[in-house]
Structure 1
């Protein structure tokens, strides 16, 4: 009996040891060990100063502290975000590379059908981080004070009114195409290479109007250099409570809010995605993070990986329908 007791104790100890070994050799634990001490790269597929860049530089250091790793924000701009996105699609799924992106990602799927990757299927959604709102703004020289003023003149002078965007296929561009479609008006598109040059010409009166994120438009609105005609969301924004939604302005029930989120390379283990998601949820709930986002006109938000995946899939279908209906191409 005594021998059996000793055997049972030893057996339990052996099983416990095997359990511990199994935990240490799980895909997640192995990935953590292999990545330990290596920098975590947050790839931003657009230039510094954009909303995505702000998110990466706010969330990144805090995520690095929690994971015990240094963080590098890597801006890889070009091809409407496709260059940076592809870098993540091709990256090793070891937790050392993440993509911080915006809904341009799903627009590109339809705009660039010959891409060597699928920007929706070939990435692993980790978490939603925030929502950003777009304002319809104009130069004061147009004389428009409301969206109704714009629509009146657009219907009287089809094609004579122009609008700017940072480039074909950007949320700014497709939001205006949706505005045109809903309201049955023809506005001429003037695409630029980036937001700054487009805003410079808008301020100078070379173009009439455009959609802009709140954090870009707000200083110019406060200075009286731009007029906000409406916000493309379901409700007004606390930073500009006097600006009506486009629905309130009788310009169509148009919601063009942009989502921002974080993705991992294909093949990333589910338990690693879950771990990152939990860390990000805690970070996004921090008061200083909420303040940093809200002062830039972004609304902090979080989600499960599955909720984020569903949002991305729905949005991809939504914009694909518009792109096909309007015959929009990236050429």
Structure 2
């Protein structure tokens, strides 16, 4: 039988089938894809902040067991700048094939409102893989401030609006927005002093140049135990086992004041679901290991795990919450 003539429709259909076949081949065999890309090339774990941070510790704790389980190298890459936007954008623009992942913190969705011209949207251009942990913030004051309780801080702020200086590692950081949320709920005025990093802010806090600030619990704890800082409140809804006598912010009964920081792993949008599911499964088992819990505790973090969908819901709710606060308080990234 003579061959049928090739119409434009059959030509384009054939071309589409060839392109799909090539794409499938580039991702490996069906068996490998179903296993989440096990046994393929190296995976970059992009950390958009400096080495030594809590996010960096998470990446370096999960990389070796992921490499062992998936039989491929996992390489931690710190790509810093622009409050995490540079490293995040790198992941957004990477191929959605499981070879590039982002390890990040809730700054990711705070930046969505602070940097509307960043060039990407973390809620649509990143795929949640799994929640990894939660970190607590501690509201502290120095001894020279003579602020000895959460209620005392608010009373002083109401008596002398704007006279209390509080610090943060920079505009738009969780430390900054946590205090702005407290200010918004309590209807008080404190003056924000932005620093370039946590270290300089803590130095000035201890030296009396600023009176108060939110700090990660592991950073504040040594100074609280030494008596140089007074712990006023914890960001969680429940007291911390490390400081059981310190009340949660919610005891003010001013609405939702939980400002715990979430941490998690994400992939470029469009990453095949089998890849995400395999990574999620392996991370769940890794995070359940006692050694991981011990390592995370050094950074004041508690391991946790979630489905990709649950993590996505946390991100979306947090993005809405912080966008509303940033607008209400007139916060800018400058």
TM-score calculated relative to the size of structure 1: 0.88
How far is the alpha carbon of 1:251 from its aligned partner? 7.1
Residue matched to 1:146: 149
Are residues 1:291 and 2:261 paired? no
- Which residue is equivalent to 1:199? 202
Match of 2:58 in 1: 55
After superposition, residues 133-282 of structure 1 pair within 5 angstroms as 133-248=136-251, 253-282=256-285
Please tell me whether the aligned partners of residues 287 and 304 of structure 2 are also in contact (alpha carbons under 8 angstroms). yes
Q: Report what 1:308 is aligned to.
A: 311
2:30 aligned residue (8, 25, 34): 25
Closer/same/farther in 2, CA of residues 305 and 316 from structure 1, 3 Å limit? same
C-alpha change, 1:171 and 1:123, in structure 2 (3 Å) is same
Distance in 1, matches of 2:199 and 2:308, equals 33
Provide the C-alpha distance between the structure 1 equivalents of 2:96 and 2:195, rounded to a whole number of angstroms. 35
How many residues were matched structurally? Answer: 308
C-alpha displacement at 1:214, in angstroms? Answer: 0.9
RMSD (Å), alpha carbons: 2.0
> Are the counterparts in 1 of residues 48 and 79 from structure 2 also a CA contact under 8 Å?
yes
CA contact (8 A) 2:237 2:258 kept: yes
CA 1:28–1:158 in structure 2 vs 1: closer, same or farther (change >3 Å)?
Answer: same
Whole-angstrom CA distance in 1 between matches of 2:324 and 2:318: 10
Does the C-alpha gap of structure 1 residues 195 and 111 become closer, same or farther in structure 2, counting only changes over 3 Å?
same
* Inter-partner Cα distance in structure 2 for 1:50 and 1:255: 22
Contact 1:102 1:261 in 2 (8 A): yes
Determine helix, strand or coil for the equivalent of 1:148: helix
CA distance in 2 between counterparts of 1:159 and 1:207 reads: 12
8 A contact 1:105–1:120 mirrored in 2:
no
Measured in 1, the distance between the counterparts of 2:256 and 2:36 equals 46
**Counterpart among 101, 123, 126 of residue 126 in structure 2:** 123
TM-score normalised by the chain length of structure 2: 0.88
Q: Which residue matches 2:106?
A: 103
Q: Deviations over 1:290-326 (max 9, x none)?
A: 1222343211110011111111111111111111111
CA distance in structure 2 between the aligned counterparts of 1:159 and 1:30, rounded to whole angstroms: 57
Residues 185 and 255 of structure 2 are in contact (CA less than 8 Å); yes or no, is this contact kept in structure 1? yes
Structure 2 distance, partners of 1:91, 1:255, is 34
In terms of mean alpha carbon deviation, does 109-118 or 216-225 score higher?
216-225
Contact 1:230–1:249, Cα closer than 8 Å, also in 2? no
Equivalent position SS for 2:232: strand
**Alignment partners' CA distance in 1, 2:255 and 2:228:** 26
Q: Distance in 2 between matches of 1:308 and 1:92?
A: 22
- On the 8 A contact 1:146/1:249 being kept in 2, the answer is no
Q: Which residue of 2 aligns with 1:65?
A: 68
For residues 123 and 50 of structure 2, what CA distance do their matches in structure 1 show? 22
Distance 1:266 1:98, change over 3 A: same
8 Å contact kept, 2:35–2:278: no
Q: Counterpart of 2:20?
A: none
- Match of 1:94, SS state, is coil
